[in-house]
Amino acid sequence: MAHYFEIKKNKAGEFVAYFKYNSEPIFWTEGYSSKASAQNAIESILKNGPGAEVREAE
């Protein structure tokens, strides 16, 4: 699969969930103090993302 989520620690020691396509980061979450919180962010994106509307900047 060309796209996937990856959780890793940033320089501040926080857990960040990265969404990657062909190993390139497309977007990432804020830093979380626990890996479980980063996993919850991924679950929220998977649950709520498919139905999100697309808006164009004015």
pTM of the model: 0.84
Bridge-partner residues for 16, per DSSP? 8
Which tokens go with 37? 């919180």
Given this model, what pLDDT does residue 58 score? Answer: 85
Which tokens go with 3? 């796209």
Q: How does pLDDT run along the chain (58 residues), one tens digit per residue?
A: 689 999 999 999 999 999 999 999 999 999 999 999 999 999 999 999 888 899 999 8
Q: Is 2 helix (H, G, I), strand (E, B) or coil?
A: coil
